[in-house]
Amino acid sequence: MAKIINVIKGTKDILPQDVGEWHRLEETALKVFSKYGYQEIRTPIFEATELFARGVGDTTDIVNKEMYTFEKSERSLTLRPENTAGVVRSFIENGMSRLSAPVKLWYKGPMFRYERPQAGRQRQFHQVGVEMFGIKQPAADAEVILLAINYLKALGLNDLEVELNSLGCPKCREEYKAKIKEVLKPEFNNLCEDCQTRYEKNPLRLLDCKVESCQAIFSKPEIKEVIFSDFLCEECAEHYSQLKEYLDKAKVKYTENKLLVRGLDYYNRTVFEIKSNDLGSQNAVCGGGRYDSLVKNLGGEDTPAIGFAMGMERLNALLPKVEPKLLDGYIVSNSPVEAFALAEELRAAGKNVEFDLANKKFTKQLEKASKVARYALILGEDEIKENAVSVKNLETSEQIKVSRENVSEMV
Ligand code: HAM
C-alpha cells in the first residue's frame, strides 16, 4: 500500500461529526454581531509580509518567530497570523473611511502561527472577531466589550473573567516605558533572553513575561512600585474612567490588570481579555483593544479603531458537544427507482432525505434508517400500488400509512 500522508502538526481536520459545533459559533456570531450593526468581511488568507511587520509590529513574537512566510514571484507573502491588519488594509484600500462612522466589520476564519502546539494552541486555528472604525469615544470601547460578553452569553458561556487595562497613549506610555527601563537597568543581566530584547525594543512587553525568574524580579518592591504606578495622562485617565462608568452601568464585572499588555504592538488605551477558568494554561478565549494609530500607520487617514478576536477552538472546548443532525427521513424500499423519485420529491419539499443507493436488503435498510433518520419511509410493493408511504417514527416505533403527497407534512 502507498505511504499515508498525515495532517501537519498543529493543524486539525474538522470532521462531519464535529462541524455542528462550528456552525453554532458561526450562526451565533452572525446573529449577535448583526444586532450591533456589524457586517461580515472576508479578506484573503495571505497578505504582503510587510502588512504584518508594520501592522502587528516587528518586536512581537508573532512577527519575529511565528509567521508562515514564503516567497512567490519575488514577493514576500505571509499566511495571516491574525486578521486586524488585513481588515485595516481592506478598510483603507476600499475607501471605507468615506463611509459614515462607525464602520463595523466582523470576520471568521483560519489564522496561522508557528507556535508550540498544545491543548488550546494550534498552528492553524480559527478566530471570530470584530473591528469598529471611526469612534474615539469610550462608548465604543464599552460597546465592543459588551458585544464580546453577549456573544459568549448567547453561546451559553457565563463563567468568564474580563480583564481590563489601559496602555495610555504614545506620549504617556513613553514616559512609563522610560521609567520601567530605568528601574530594571540594574537587573538587565538577570532578565531572560527574550526580556533583554524586549527591554530595548518594547519594554511594556516585559510585564507579560511568564518566566519565573523575571516574575521574581518584577515583584521586587521598588520595581513593582514603578510597574503599578499611575502613568496615564489626563485624557487617557478620563477615557479609562468613562469606560469603567459604562461597564459599571451595564453591570459588567471586570478585573483591572496592570500587567495586561497584550502580544501585539498596535494597541493604545483600552486593552482587554476574557478568560475561562475551565481551560487550563491557554485560558484566554478573547483578546482585544483599541488601536487608534494603526490605520494611519498603514497609510490610511487618521481613524480611531477598536476590536477583539476569539479563539474558536477554545470556545468549542468550553461548550457541550453538538449532536450531528439526523435526516428527516430514510427511504426503505426494494424499488430503487421509486425510492429515488420519492427522495427527490421530498427534497424539493425541503426535507433532508436519503435512500439506499446500493439497494441492500430491506432489513439492512431499516437498520440504517434507525441510525441516520428520524423517520423510516417505507415504500414496499403495497405502498407503491396504493400511491402511499408507511411512515415509521423511529423514536416511538409508531407507524402509519399516508398518501404519497402527504409524506412531506409528516416528517
Ligand atoms: P490575540 O490575543 O493574538 O489577538 O488572539 C485572540 C484569540 O485568538 C486568543 O485570545 C485565543 O483565544 C486565540 N488564539 C490565539 N492564538 C491561538 C493559537 N495558536 N491557537 C488557538 N487559539 C489561539 C488578536 O489576534 C487580535 N487581532 C485581536 C484584536 C482584534 N484586537 C483588536 N482587534
At 353 the pLDDT is 98
Q: Is the pLDDT of residue 281 over 90?
A: no
Task: Report how far residue 271's alpha carbon sits from residue 131's, in angstroms, rounded to the nearest whole number.
Answer: 14
Q: Is the pLDDT of residue 153 over 90?
A: yes
The predicted model gives 184-207 an average pLDDT of 91
At 201 the pLDDT is 87
Count Cα atoms within 13 angstroms, Cβ side, for 29.
24
The predicted model gives 307-329 an average pLDDT of 96
* Ligand 1 environment, Cβ below 6 A: 82, 84, 113, 115, 120-122, 125, 127, 129, 131, 263-264, 284-289, 291, 307-311, 313-314
C-alpha 310 to ligand 1 mean position (Å): 6
At 58 the pLDDT is 84
Class of residue 189 by CB neighbours under 10 A (exposed 0-12, middle 13-18, buried 19+):
exposed
pLDDT tens digits for range 246-264: 999 999 999 999 999 998 9
Q: Is the pLDDT of residue 42 over 90?
A: yes
At 70 the pLDDT is 98
Q: Which three cell numbers stand for residue 210?
A: 511568564
At 278 the pLDDT is 81
CB 353 within 8 A of CB 330: yes
- Per the DSSP assignment, residues forming a β-bridge with 72 are 75
The predicted model gives 341-366 an average pLDDT of 98
C-alpha 242 to ligand 1 mean position (Å): 26
At 231 the pLDDT is 95
Instruction: Give the residue, by CA position, lying nearest to ligand 1 atom 18.
Output: 121
Q: Is the pLDDT of residue 284 over 90?
A: yes
The predicted model gives 41-64 an average pLDDT of 94
The predicted model gives 110-117 an average pLDDT of 97
At 282 the pLDDT is 83
Does residue 63 sit in helix, strand or coil? Answer: helix
At 391 the pLDDT is 98
At 33 the pLDDT is 98
Please give the distance of CA 24 from its chain centroid, rounded to a whole number. Answer: 12
Which is more confidently placed, 6 or 278?
6
Atom in ligand 1 nearest the alpha carbon of residue 85: 27
Radius of gyration of the chain (CA): 28
DSSP class of residue 361?
-
Q: How much of the chain exceeds pLDDT 70, in percent?
A: 100
Instruction: Give the residue, by CA position, lying nearest to ligand 1 atom 14.
Output: 311
Instruction: Give the residue, by CA position, lying nearest to ligand 1 atom 17.
Output: 121
Query: Could you give the domains of the chain?
Result: 19-166+256-318 (3.30.930.10), 169-231 (no CATH), 327-409 (3.40.50.800)
Q: How many Cβ atoms are within 10 Å of 126's Cβ, its own excluded? A: 21
Q: What share of the chain is helix, strand, coil (3-state, %, to 5)?
A: 45, 25, 35
Please give the distance of CA 123 from its chain centroid, rounded to a whole number. Answer: 14
pLDDT classification of 362: cutoffs 50, 70, 90: very high
pLDDT tens digits for range 72-101: 999 999 999 999 999 999 999 999 999 999
Please name the residue ranges forming H helices in 333-403: 336-348, 362-372, 381-386
Q: Is the pLDDT of residue 43 over 90?
A: yes
Q: How much of the chain exceeds pLDDT 90, in percent?
A: 92
At 96 the pLDDT is 98
The predicted model gives 152-166 an average pLDDT of 95
Grid coordinates 448567547 are at which residue? Answer: 154
pLDDT classification of 382: cutoffs 50, 70, 90: very high
At 256 the pLDDT is 96
pLDDT classification of 277: cutoffs 50, 70, 90: confident
Q: Is the pLDDT of residue 210 over 90?
A: no
Residue 74 region by backbone torsions, left for phi larger than 0, else alpha for psi between -120 and 50, else beta: left
Residue 66 region by backbone torsions, left for phi larger than 0, else alpha for psi between -120 and 50, else beta: alpha
